[in-house]
């Protein structure tokens, strides 16, 4: 997805103008009409996640600008979220018991590349090439040797 399109989409998610379709982990997720444009029925508006991704896109954009890349032609090639080690805290319960109060952080990996522009082949080179059969090639080689 183009970087400008991605930032607009994430801003719309925070404003609840477009939803994120929940396809895999969708138990108990309600239906929304905005998911129809994705060909799905269930969707939500994960505001906190969208804001994190917006900050990452802004950071990646400034990094690309610093490296001298064309920011307008940046395209997200790969994005992946992995689990990070859990942070442990405790919560106090009745009768002197203690239960764990764990957080579930993650590592986000994002790769942006410049979109390659398609360059058309010149017509002159295409017209010059002519296919020669194997038989004619062998005859030419024999003529050169003599």
Report if residue 93 sits inside a domain: yes
128, pLDDT greater than 70: no
Domain that holds residue 14: 3-118
Report if residue 97 sits inside a domain: yes
- CATH number assigned to the domain comprising residue 31: 3.90.470.10
* Residues 46, 35: Cα–Cα separation, whole Å: 14
The number of folded domains in the chain is 1
In this prediction, residue 126 carries a pLDDT of: 52
In this prediction, residue 16 carries a pLDDT of: 97
Residues 6+ apart with CB under 8 A from 45: 13, 14, 16, 19, 20
Report if residue 139 sits inside a domain: no
| pLDDT single digits (tens) 39-75 | 999 999 999 999 999 999 999 999 999 999 999 999 9
* Residues 26, 28: Cα–Cα separation, whole Å: 6
Report if residue 79 sits inside a domain: yes
Q: Which pair of structure tokens corresponds to residue 14?
A: 């925070």
């Amino acid at each position: 997805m183009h970087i400008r399109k991605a930032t607009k989409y994430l801003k719309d998610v925070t404003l609840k103008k477009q939803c994120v379709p929940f396809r895999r982990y969708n138990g108990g997720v309600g239906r929304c009409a905005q998911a129809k444009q994705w060909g799905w029925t269930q969707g939500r508006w994960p505001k906190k996640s969208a804001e994190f991704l917006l900050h990452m896109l802004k950071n990646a954009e400034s990094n690309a600008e610093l490296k001298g890349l064309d920011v307008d032609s940046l395209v997200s090639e790969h994005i992946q979220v992995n689990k990070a080690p859990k942070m442990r805290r405790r919560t106090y319960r009745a009768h002197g018991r203690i239960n764990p109060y764990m957080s579930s952080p993650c590592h986000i990996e994002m790769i942006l590349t410049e979109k390659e522009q398609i360059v058309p082949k010149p017509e002159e080179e295409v017209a010059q090439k002519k296919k020669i059969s194997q038989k004619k090639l062998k005859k030419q080689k024999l003529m050169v040797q003599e």
